[in-house]
Amino acid sequence: RHKFWETQPVGQFGDVADVSLPDGAIEPPSPLSEVRADPYPLPAAFEWFTCDLDDDALLADLYALLAHNYVEDDENMFRFNYSPAFLRWALRPPSFFRAWHIGVRAKESKKLVAFISGVPARIRARDDVVRMAEINFLCVHKKLRSKRLAPVLIREVTRRVHLENIWQAAYTAGVVLPTPITTCRYWHRSLNPKKLIDVGFSRLGPRMTMSRTVRLYKLPDAPLTPGFRQMELRDVAAVTRLLRAYLARYVVAPDFDELDVEHWLLPQEDVVDSYLVESPETHEVTDFCSFYTLPSSVLNNANYSTLKAAYSYYNVAVKTPLQQLMNDALIVAKQKNYDVFNALDVMENEGFLKELKFGPGDGQLHYYLYNYRIRNGIKPSELGLVLL
C-alpha cells in the first residue's frame, strides 16, 4: 500500500501496539562514512539546487512555488500563502543548515519546481532529548505530481540530515501516513464572520442572521488583563524560564533555550506575535501567549483574494486563567485585522476552545516522528509541539 513508506524506519501500521518493541530509535545511527556521499538521482531534466534564502530573488521564487502549489483544503477553496518574511523566519533558526533548504529546478529554464526543507531542533520525547530535523514545505509543482518525486526529495533531505549526524525527524501532514504519534483537529474562531461566510470559509448557522452572527463574535476593543503587553528582547530570559517549565509537562515537546526563544517568539510583524502579562505590582512575567501569521489565498472568489489567519503557537498561563489570556489574544488579533484565529487541540487548548467560540474545522493534522517509536502514540493533550 505504501511502496515508499514501507521501506522507511517509521512505525508500520502493524507494530503500533507491539509491547515487545522498545520506545526510542527504530534503527541505530550508521557510521558517517556509510552515508551516501552523492545526491540521489533525479529525472534527467531536473537538478538539485541548494537554496540561499539571503537571496531575495530565490526567496521570491520559493514564495511563488508555494503560493501556487502548496497545501489546499479538501475542497480546494483555500491555499496556504506563507509570506517571504515568514519563510525566512521558519527556515533560518539558530544553527540552521543551508544544505537542508533543498530545491529542484528544471535544468534548462532554471525554474524552481519542487522543494523540501529541514531545520534543526532539540525535541524531547518522555525523558529523552533528541536532536532532530523538523521537515516542512515539501512541495512538488502541480504539473509534476504523481511521478514519485516526493520520495526522492524525502530521501535526499534524509541523506543531508544524516550527514550532520542527526538520525531523527519530526513532521506534520494533513494526510495519513505510517504512523501518526497523534492526530489533532483544527479549530477556528471567527473574527470577521461576514467575510468568512462570503468566501465560504464558514456558513451562517441554522436560525442565525448575519447581524446576530456578527454580534456573537464581537470582542472588546482592547485586551482586558492588566499588564498585558507585547514581548520584547529584554523578556527573553523570563519567557524562556516560563516556557521551559511549562513544556516539561508534555510527553513530546521542544527543548527551547534562550536563543530558540529569541528566534521563535520575539515578535516580527506579520510573522509572529507574542504577548505576556507583566504583573503591575511585582513586574514579574507571569503568563505568555503567541500566534503566527499564515494567510491563505482564497481561490475563485470575486470579492476577496486572501484570508488573514492567526495560528495559536505557544501559550503559558500561570497566574492569568488560560481562557482569559487567549481571549486577550483574540482581541489583539481582531485589532490587527485578522479574519480568523486557528488553534489545534494540543496542550491545554481543549480548555478554552468551546468557551471562546472556536468551532471544529474539517481539517486534521497528523504528527509524525521519523526513526523514533512511541508505543501506542500519545493524545493531542500530551503534545507540546507546534510546527509551522
Q: Which stretch binds ligand NHW (CB under 6 A): 2-10, 57-65, 239-247, 300-308?
A: 2-10
Cα dihedral sign for 111, 153, 90, 383? positive
Those residues whose C-beta lies under 8 Å from the C-beta of residue 17, and which sit 6 or more positions away, are 375, 376
Q: How far is the CB of 28 from ligand NHW (least distance, A)?
A: 12
Contact positions with ligand EN5 (CB under 6 A) in 343-382: 359, 361-363, 365
Grid coordinates standing for 28?
A: 541505530
Measured from the CB atom, the residue of 135 and 285 that comes closer to ligand NHW is: 135
Neighbours of 35 (CB within 10 A): 16
Among 91, 157, 383, 385, binds ligand NHW (CB under 6 A): 157
Q: What is the dihedral of CA 112, 78, 359, 387, to 10 degrees?
A: 0
Reading the block at residue 99, the C-alpha cell is: 544544505
The binder of 40, among ligand NHW, ligand EN5, none, by C-beta within 5 to 8 A per type, is none
Distance CA 375, CA 252 (A): 13
Q: What is the largest CA-CA distance in the chain?
A: 67
Q: How far apart are CA 147 and CA 300, in angstroms?
A: 27
Active site residue 66: no
What is the pattern of x (binds ligand EN5, CB under 6 A) and - over residues 148-187? ------------------------xxx-----------x-
Among ligand NHW, ligand EN5, none, what binds residue 5 when CB lies within 5 to 8 Å by partner kind? ligand NHW
CA pair distance 140, 153, nearest whole angstrom: 9
Instruction: Count CB atoms within 10 A of the CB of residue 149.
Output: 18
Contact between 345 and 185 under an 8 Å Cβ cutoff? The reply is yes
* 81 lies in the site for ligand NHW, by CB under 6 A: no
Choose among ligand NHW, ligand EN5, none what residue 370 binds, the Cβ cut-off being 5 to 8 Å by kind. Answer: ligand NHW
Rule CB under 6 A: which of 309-368 touch ligand NHW?
A: none
Residue 234 main-chain phi, psi, to 5 deg: -65, -10
124, β-bridge pairs = 129, 253
| Partner residues linked to 360 by β-bridges | 187
Give the one residue of 139, 330, 331, 344 binding ligand NHW; rule: CB under 6 A.
139
Closest to ligand NHW by CB, 68 or 354: 68
Choice from 75, 108, 127, 221 touching ligand EN5 (CB under 6 A):
75
Nearer CB in complex with ligand EN5: 174/220: 174
Q: Does 190 bind ligand EN5 (CB under 6 A)?
A: yes
Q: Which among 23-31, 67-75, 246-254, 284-292 is the span making contact with ligand EN5, rule CB under 6 A?
A: 67-75
Name the binder of 242 from ligand NHW, ligand EN5, none, CB < 5-8 A by kind: none
**Min separation Cβ 10 and ligand EN5, Å:** 17
The grid coordinates of residue 296 equal 491563505
Among 65, 119, 121, 169, binds ligand NHW (CB under 6 A): 169
72-105: burial string, b at 16+ Cβ within 10 Å, e else: ebeeebbbbbbebbbbbbbbebeebbeebbbbbb
Grid coordinates of 80: 496556504
Torsion of CA 60, 65, 68, 71, to 10 degrees: -120
Q: Give the residue, chosen from 3, 143, 234, 283, that forms a contact with ligand NHW under the rule CB under 6 A.
A: 3
Q: Does 275 bind ligand EN5 (CB under 6 A)?
A: no
182-190 and 78-80 strand pairing? unpaired
Residue with cell 526543507: 117
The DSSP 8-state label assigned to residue 72 in this structure reads B
Q: Which stretch binds ligand NHW (CB under 6 A): 11-19, 168-176, 276-284, 324-332?
A: 168-176
From the list 3-11, 50-58, 66-74, 260-268, the region that binds ligand EN5 by CB under 6 A is: 66-74
What is the contact mask toward ligand NHW in residues 170 to 189, using x (rule: CB under 6 A)? -xxx-x-x------------
Q: Whole-angstrom Cα distance, residue 197 to residue 213?
A: 10
**Which residues are at the interface with ligand EN5 (CB under 6 A)?**
71, 73-75, 77, 136, 172-174, 186, 188, 190, 201-202, 359, 361-363, 365, 387-388
**Which residues are at the interface with ligand NHW (CB under 6 A)?**
2-5, 69-71, 133, 135-140, 145-151, 154, 157-158, 161, 166-169, 171-173, 175, 177, 370-371
Q: Which residues are catalytic?
A: 388
